Amino acid sequence: MNKKFLLYFFFILIIISCKKNSTTISGDIPNLPNGKLILYEDLWNNKLDSLEVKDGKFELTHTFDDEIPHYLGIEFYDLEGNKLVFQFPTNSYFNQAKEKWTSSLFLSDKFVKLTDSLEYVDFGENSPFPKNIKTVEIKKIEAGAQTKALQNTNYDLFSRKSSTQYSEIENLLKKYPNSFHLLSEISKNKYQFSSSQVEKFLSLFDKSVQNYPQFKGLQNYIKDSKSINNNKILKLKNSKYKLTEVINKKYKKHLIILWASWCGPCRKEIPILKKIIAENKINGIELISISIDEKESDWRKALHEEQMTWKQLILSKEESENFKIILKYSGAIPYSVLVDNDMKILSSSTGLYDEKEMLKIFNK
């Protein structure tokens, strides 16, 4: 009886241990100095684990409390107090550059192995770091499908808008259907896609991904998007403390600019807009600035300082989600979006534009 119980208990332990979400990171890097390796999640100050390294060899196993993959990074302190910031090779590019991009992160695959050697990055006199902080590139990283998906996703794939963006994402999902990285990026940038596009993305994911919080969040986004009526009259508080319709339908087109009092580029854009209005170059388009300031007092202070003559509104928490969905607003400002009377997007752009670039929007 006792033997049967022990065998049963041992079997249960094996099942439980197999379900643990753990990653083992090993290394054999000949030119890595002796010192202390620190494993962190997402950002360097979110430390998870550490161990002493000698002769460039190490092995660290870390177990997580959940079942989702995690973004991990490594920093290292040698015996002289120098800090080494690790970068890992990828097959991805940024802004169509010729050289491949490196990443400070990898994913928590079951096994991650760092080999070959490390190379010190020489920034010269333009180094953004103090002398005791050095960036090093690991020559070779062997990992599983989660990290491979990260390595093969162009760094700016989700931030740049192009005619091939949707098909690129679709092709990556077909190649890496269990990718947590792709799921996370779609979730973070969901407002730039239509509900039907997000629905198509989700259909390409493996069943193993469907219990992740990000997957369920995207399902809710699709549901909310389909229930929103773009023709519903949207109202926000104006500078005179009254609720007013966001767009005036006597105009055929409306340029909505999302900004905030604390946003430097947004404030730099205001004189450009004033000049365009003063020279009557807005081509009959209604100009609307919508603040995303959390404190109304900050918004009103900025209004007093800037003295803008066009329609000024502030985004309420109640309408925030609706606006994000309708305007495909991902959170970056300044965000300029040209819409028609049905709130259909005609064009959109993120970032500070000069006068010439801004006039192109008014002339569309």
- What confidence tens digit (pLDDT) does each residue in 100-141 have? 889 999 999 999 999 999 999 888 777 778 888 999 999 999
Q: 33 by DSSP, 3-state: which?
A: coil
Buried b (16+ CB within 10 A) or exposed e, 59-75: ebebeeeeeebbbbbbb
For residue 176, how many other CB atoms are within 10 A of its CB? Answer: 22
* Distances 188 to 141, 182, 183 between C-alpha atoms, Å: 27, 10, 9
For residue 360, give the amino acid letter. Answer: K
Nearest to 26 by CA among 34, 41, 42, 37: 37
Instruction: In whole angstroms, give the CA distance from residue 46 to residue 58.
Output: 21
85 alpha-carbon distance from chain centroid = 21
Torsion of CA 59, 65, 66, 69, to 10 degrees: -20
pLDDT of residue 126: 78
- For the chain, the average pLDDT equals 88
Q: Amino acid letter at 299?
A: W
So what's the pLDDT on residue 146? Answer: 97
In this structure, which topology does domain 20-147 adopt according to CATH? Immunoglobulin-like (2.60.40)
With H, G, I as helix, E, B as strand and everything else as coil, classify residue 262: coil
**pLDDT (0 to 100) of residue 15:** 42
Q: pLDDT of 205-228, one tens digit each? A: 999 999 999 999 999 989 888 877
Class level of CATH domain 235-362: alpha beta
Instruction: Sketch the domain layout of the chain as residue ranges.
Output: 20-147, 165-227, 235-362
pLDDT at 128: 78
Q: Which residues of the chain fall below pLDDT 70? A: 1-19, 95-97, 229-233
pLDDT value of position 156: 87
